[in-house]
């Protein structure tokens, strides 16, 4: 340990307090922004209902027209955007922090396409119902993650190899999905296409239950593991030295992140780039050096809801949220590659 005088300790204390203050400020601002977007999603639509009516409907009153629009169409859409966005953000941040690479997230390394392929298989070949499909998708996501991890071992585990293998796995899963869509019956296609492009269109209230339950169960767990996760970012040995049970933390976090994002995907489909963007944006806003899990989740929710609003209202044609986020995310991905190449990270 380097000997520290009182002055240095004082400086460090101030830095830490400053970070904590900034974290609280940013988190509060993001929460306010999320609430504003939630309100916008309830208020905007084909017909505008006054705030009073919307509140009355939410409180349980029946108002001609408004009840259907708000309770059946807009409320599930808003909840799906909020919860799925939060889930994608949290899962992406977890992977990025755990693997110490901004490229690592369930979409890029092919876990999402593993669950999608399994889900489409269930829908088209086994003709199973929604619940079974979601469970199989979650299990397939976990299996894909394990498979990727095993395949990426080689001589020594490397993120680069993991990502390359992920690209291959993704190509295979996508071709399998195309095949299944081709042999599928006309009436099964809409349910299957849900797994291909992320969108909040036509989300129903009863589909929200598993996502709500998973969020209630897993988010507190992940937030509690946020501190050990931040220590993992310092490196395996440093974290172990600080008393973090690294393997257990890593396995728990990975399972939680995969399960959460697979369930969210079963509701909205894979909304591209949110898992990629949320973590870096949160880190940029708050600064690194602690757990930014909560802000990353909020950034994810803000991204999905904003993308949905833009897709619905900004253009003459309606775009699904997943296309909007893909177009925002793609330049960032390229920028990230350029920056990582310059720094000689590969």
List contacts with other proteins (CB under 8 A).
Answer: 103, 151-152, 154, 158, 160-161, 163-165, 167-169, 171-172, 174-176, 178-179, 182-183, 197, 272, 315-317, 319, 323, 326-327, 330-331, 333-334, 337-338, 340-344, 346
CB 264 within 8 Å of CB 51: no
Please identify, using beta-carbon distances, which residue of 288 and 338 lies nearer to other proteins.
338
Residue among 49 and 319 whose Cβ is closer to other proteins? 319
Query: What distance in Å separates the CA atoms of residue 126 and residue 294, rounded to the nearest whole number?
Result: 38
Q: Minimum CB separation from other proteins for residue 335, in Å?
A: 10
Decide whether 43 or 181 has the Cβ nearer to other proteins: 181
Alpha helix positions (H), the chain: 6-43, 51-58, 66, 75-98, 111-121, 130-151, 159-183, 189-193, 208-224, 226-232, 236-241, 246-268, 274-286, 293-313, 321-342
The answer to whether residues 109 and 298 touch, using CB atoms and an 8 Å cutoff, is no
Angle at 34 between CA 29 and CA 329, to 5 degrees: 100
What the block records as the tokens of 341 is 């190449």
Residue closer to other proteins, measured from CB, 188 or 246: 188
The answer to whether 41 and 81 have CB atoms below 8 angstroms apart is yes
Closest distance to other proteins from the beta carbon of 272 (Å): 7
CA distance 333 to 12: 34
Taking the C-alpha atoms of residue 322 and residue 273, their distance in angstroms, rounded to an integer, is: 8
User: Given the complex with other proteins, which of 166 and 228 has the nearer CB atom?
Assistant: 166
Contact 214, 278 (CB under 8 A): no
Q: Which is nearer to other proteins, 295 or 311 (CB)?
A: 311
Distance of alpha carbon 58 from alpha carbon 67, whole angstroms: 8
In the complex with other proteins, which residue's Cβ is closer, 147 or 234?
147
Q: CB of 110: closest distance to other proteins in angstroms?
A: 10
> What's the closest the beta carbon of residue 120 comes to other proteins, in angstroms?
13
The alpha carbon torsion through 85, 86, 88, 91 (nearest 10 deg) reads: 180
Token output for 194: 């849900």
Measured from the CB of residue 152, what is the shortest distance to other proteins in angstroms?
A: 8
């Amino acid at each position: 340990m380097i000997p520290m005088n009182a002055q240095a300790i004082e400086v460090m204390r101030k830095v830490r307090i400053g970070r904590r203050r900034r974290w609280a400020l940013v988190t509060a601002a993001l929460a306010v922004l999320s609430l504003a977007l939630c309100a916008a999603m309830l208020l905007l639509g084909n017909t505008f209902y006054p705030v009073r009516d919307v509140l009355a409907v939410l409180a349980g009153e029946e108002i001609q027209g408004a009840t259907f629009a708000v309770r059946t169409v807009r409320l599930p859409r808003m909840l799906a955007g909020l919860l799925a966005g939060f889930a994608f953000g949290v899962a992406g941040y977890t992977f990025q922090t755990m693997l110490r690479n901004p490229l690592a997230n369930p979409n890029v390394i092919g876990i999402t396409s593993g669950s999608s392929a399994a889900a489409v298989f269930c829908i088209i070949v086994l003709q199973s119902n929604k619940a079974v499909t979601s469970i199989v998708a979650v299990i397939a996501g976990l299996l894909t993650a394990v498979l990727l991890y095993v395949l990426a071992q080689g001589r020594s585990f490397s993120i680069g190899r993991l990502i390359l293998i992920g690209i291959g796995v993704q190509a295979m899963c996508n071709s399998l999905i195309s095949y299944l869509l081709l042999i599928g019956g006309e009436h099964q296609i809409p349910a299957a296409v849900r797994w291909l492009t992320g969108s909040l269109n036509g989300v129903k209230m009863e589909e929200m239950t598993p996502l709500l339950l998973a969020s209630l169960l897993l988010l507190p767990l992940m937030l509690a593991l946020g501190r050990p996760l931040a220590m993992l970012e310092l490196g395996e040995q440093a974290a172990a030295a600080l008393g973090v049970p690294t393997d257990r933390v890593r396995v728990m976090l990975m399972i939680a992140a995969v399960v959460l994002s697979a369930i969210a995907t079963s509701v909205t489909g894979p909304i591209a780039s949110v898992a990629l963007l949320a973590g870096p944006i949160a880190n940029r806003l708050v600064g690194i050096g602690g757990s930014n899990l909560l802000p990353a989740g909020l950034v994810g929710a803000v991204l999905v809801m904003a993308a949905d609003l833009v897709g619905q209202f900004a253009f003459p044609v309606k775009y699904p949220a997943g296309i909007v986020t893909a177009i925002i995310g793609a330049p960032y991905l390229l920028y990230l590659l350029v920056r990582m190449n310059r720094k000689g990270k590969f």
